[in-house]
Amino acid sequence: MYDERSIELLTGLTAEQRAALGELYARLDEELRVEVHRRQRELFKEWLALGRVAPSRGGEAGYAAFLAVLKQIWIEQAPQVSPQIREHKPYKKRLRSALEKNYLDELVRLREKEKLSWRQLSDHFKQEFKKTVSHTYLKRIYEERLAEQKGR
């Protein structure tokens, strides 16, 4: 039995992403496959030297190194990363996207109609939407939205 969790921890990839990388490997030419295994061996040795993996988990670590190299090659080969294996956006960008997509109209409504202060808005978002957002950040995106609307 293998330890799927250690593979996930080492690679940061879900089972679906790992399957997509397996399909990528099948499409590579032989020269690139040899390069994958060369780089896999180097990464595996590096992980062992750093103590990142236990020698008893050599199978999982070898496979994880293989996947990590495939992921890197995929990124190098395709500037537009497939949605199945793309990196997650940093927290700030995800928060901003969520605010703009889901909550910006609510922010405008609360600010203009209910005349809430920026700090009250921050508290409201924390209580209602479970989103911790600073009052200065809310003010900034609100003002950017107003400037955008005036520019139209």
Task: Give the E-state strand segments of the chain in sequence order.
Answer: none
Structure tokens belonging to residue 125: 């978002």
pLDDT score, position 80? 47
* Tens digits of residue pLDDT in 64-119: 889 988 888 887 776 544 445 455 556 666 666 766 666 777 788 888 888 889 89
Please give the radius of gyration of the chain, using alpha carbons only, rounded to the nearest integer: 23
Phi, psi for residue 136 in degrees, rounded to 5:
-70, -35
Residue 139 — very low, low, confident or very high, per pLDDT cuts 50/70/90? confident
142 to each of 4, 29, 72, 92, 114, how far by Cα in Å? 44, 51, 38, 16, 15
